[in-house]
Structure formats: structure tokens, C-alpha cells
Amino acid sequence: MIYLDNSATTPPYPEVVDVVQKAMLSFFGNPSSLHQKGVEAENLLKQARMVSAQALQCKPSEIIFTSGGTEGNNAAIKGVAFQYQSRGKHIITTAVEHPSVYDAAGQLETFGFDVTYLPVDHDGRVSLESLQQAIRPDTILVSIMHVNNELGTIQPIKEIGTFLKLHPRILFHVDAVQSFGKVPFKMKEWGIDLLTLSAHKFHGPRGVGILAKREGVTLHPLLAGGGQESGNRSGTENIPGIAGLAKALRMTGETQAKSIAHMQKLAEVLRAGLMEIPECVINTPQTGSAPHIMNISFPGMKAEVLVHALEEHGIMVSTKSACSSKAQEPSRVLLAAGIKREQAIASIRISLSGQTSLEEINLFVSGLRESLARISPYMKA
């Protein structure tokens, strides 16, 4: 099996599985309980918070454990909107966000908020100028992703964050779900107030993530309840998931430099191989993109047919992003980047991890050639 769908999810590190299992068996207490089992679980939670804070270079008190990227994004955007609405009701985001940001902003419109969706260029990138022009006296939040999950485009987060420091009343949220371990970022230096991560994108368990929140920022909590996570996220903590997340964070952080260099090399080989296939159009920009995502199209061909043909070679890739891949519509993200409908419908995404090998990339390219040769005559008929 050649697994090239790592932007959808990554296989967990075996060490993470061990930690999760150990936590489930031995640290099953509720961290809010006063007895020994509770205290043991609470200590594990504290340790995971410390590890997470170290990885993100923030304070342990700035870490909120969540159920993943979708929750982190919703909690940040709605949390800011409802908390700061007396300051203003204008939010800025982009046309290429993940649905957990884009649709959360859309829901806020139904609550009377005004949302500006910044356009992107042909690479899928927003410009600082368009953001500057969109800012209004009633703007309370800017939410922009770091790495786009479909195209791999890196947004100019450092420039935007630096500019927003001039507007301290506007909070800056970054969806960094696709960047941790692939494209380094600096939360504090770049002026990021809120940052979302999801463990299953870096070999951690599913259903757990982090919303890092700068000290001094208050969120209206999405979930009311027992007041866990300093009142920001009620609900009994997912200790095994959180312990596994901390393990994956540490392992990914420690191997990041090597892993990025490795993925960059693989991406070059992949791009060179794809460029030799005449029907292939590469949608991912050559510069300013993450090393793990390659989006390509075969205009005139149905992406699903190709995905299934590749599967017969034991190769797993996806159409669009996993969450929306069952929908028949062309990708909103690709259309926003000015990619034509016919090309957008025919796009597939290949996504790597630090564990992908050169041999797998070569086998993918030959498998792709064979699949195309097999299905092309039928597609043209």
C-alpha cells in the first residue's frame, strides 16, 4: 500500500499508540476527582500541557485542549465574535479557508455579523494589501489559514501578523492544522492571538487538538459545562488523546527539520515526474507552497475514476479535501484561485509525510502513468 493522503490524516506513530494505550489503562481517573486516580490523570494532563506549550513556545496556561481542528476553529471564531461583538461585528477571512472556518463565518452572518472573504491570486494566496483595504473600524477578527489544505499554498502569515500588531483591537486567528511539522511558524513573534492544531495531521490520535490562546484574549466558550480548560472548553478531558497528542507533538517537533528537508526533496522528484506527463496540470504553486501537498488535474477526466484506478495499484490519494471529497461540486478553493471548472473537477491531491519514501514517489508516478493509459481511452469515448 502506498499511502499518499497524509493531508486527510496521518498514520499514528507506534509510540503514540503505546502512550494512548497506557493512558487508557493506567490513567483512567477523571482529572477533576480528588482521589489518587484523579491526581494521576491531572498530572498527566499538566505534563501534556507543558510539552504542548514548549512546542508552541507559549505558556501552559495558553493551551486549550479541544477535539481537533474543527472545534478549535469554531471555538476561536465564534468565541471571539460573541465575546467582542460590542466592539464591532466585522470579521475578515479568506475565500480558501477550510469549511470549519469558512462555514463558521457563514453561520455568524446569520447572527448579524458582517464577513469579508478576501480573494486570492492564481496561486491561492491572499495579499497583505487586500487585507489592509478590508479593515474597518468595526473589524474584530482576522482568520487566515497558514497552509491551504487543498493547494498547499502558504499564506503570508508573518506579514499579516506584523501588520495587525498596529491594530491591537483586532484579534488574529490562524488555522495551522496543515502546517505543524511541515512549515514552521512562530506564534508570538508573528503576532498570532489564536492558533488551531489537530493531532491526527501529525501522527497523533484522531479527535484531539489544541487551540492556543494568547494570554489576555477572552473567548465566549462554545461549550458550557463543568468549566474544564479554564472555562474555555467544558467536558471531561480526553486524557489518552491529549497524552498521545503531546507525544506526537514532541516527536514531530524533534524530527521537523529533517522531515521537511526530506519532503522537499520528494516534492521536487514528484513535480519533475508529473511534468513529464503531458496531460497533467499542476495546480500547486512551485514556490511558496508546503512540501507535503501536490494538487494536480487531468482536464477532461473524472477525478474519482482516477482515484479508483490508482487504488488498483495500491495507491491512495484524494479528490479535494477528505471532508468534502464525497460532494460532486468542484472545489470552492480551486475555483477561488481562478482555476477553471473543468480543471477543478478533474483534480486530485497527493499528500506526503516525513515517512513517505522516494521509492513510493517513484512507484506513484509509474502507477499514475499506467492508470492514465488504462482509463484515458474510455474517458475520451
Active site residues: 323
Count of beta carbons in the 10 Å neighbourhood of residue 87: 16
The DSSP 8-state label assigned to residue 229 in this structure reads G
Kindly tell me which of 190 and 298 has the beta carbon lying closer to ligand PLP.
190
The CA distance from 150 to 169, in Å, is 31
Nearest approach in angstroms of CB 276 to ligand PLP is 29
Q: Which residues contact 58 (CB under 8 A, 6 or more apart)?
A: 187, 188, 212, 214
Nearest approach in angstroms of CB 242 to ligand PLP is 14
318 forms beta bridges with 349
Kindly tell me which of 115 and 372 has the beta carbon lying closer to ligand PLP.
115
Judged by the rule CB under 6 A, the positions of this chain that interact with ligand PLP are: 68-70, 73, 98, 100, 145, 149, 175, 177-178, 198, 209, 321, 323
Nearest approach in angstroms of CB 195 to ligand PLP is 12
Kindly tell me which of 149 and 371 has the beta carbon lying closer to ligand PLP.
149
Kindly tell me which of 106 and 299 has the beta carbon lying closer to ligand PLP.
106
Nearest approach in angstroms of CB 209 to ligand PLP is 5
Cα 34 from chain centroid (whole Å): 37
Residue nearest to ligand PLP (CB): 69
The CA distance from 298 to 294, in Å, is 13
Kindly give the residue spans of alpha helices, DSSP state H, lying in the chain: 14-26, 36-56, 69-84, 99-110, 128-134, 157-164, 239-275, 303-311, 332-336, 341-345, 358-380
CA triple 287-290-294, angle to 5 deg: 85
